[in-house]
Structure 1
Amino acid sequence: MGKKKKQRNQEVVSDGRDIEFSQELADQDDIEAQERSQAADRRAKKKK
């Protein structure tokens, strides 16, 4: 068994999202939902 070397500064951290969004196809509800999501993300990151 070979040893795996951990490469520094090469870790990818995902926020667990897999979202496609088209600004061209967005309606007002989509835009408001996106703004609420961004505000929630900011609040969550402040708590860390």
Structure 2
Amino acid sequence: MVKQSKEQFQQNHRQLPIAKNEDVEFSSEAADNEDLEALERSKEADARQQS
């Protein structure tokens, strides 16, 4: 693992994209039970982040 200086870390961190919500294609026709459970957990997590 390569060590980075604090300045290099901050510069690399500033280059990272910042996204609050990401668009993800979801097909309810192709979803199985695990997909539906993951979708519900995602909605609950989003609600926690908003409050």
Match of 1:16 in 2: 21
Which runs of at least 4 in structure 1 moved beyond 3 Å after TM superposition?
none
| Superposition RMSD in Å | 1.4
- TM-score, normalising length: structure 2: 0.58
- TM-score, reference length from structure 1: 0.62
- Judging by fraction of residues, say which structure has more helix: 2
For these two proteins, the number of residue pairs brought into alignment is 33
Percent identical among aligned pairs is: 48
Query: Runs of 5+ in structure 1 lacking a partner?
Result: 1-13
Where structure 2 has 5 or more consecutive residues not aligned to the other structure, the ranges are 1-18
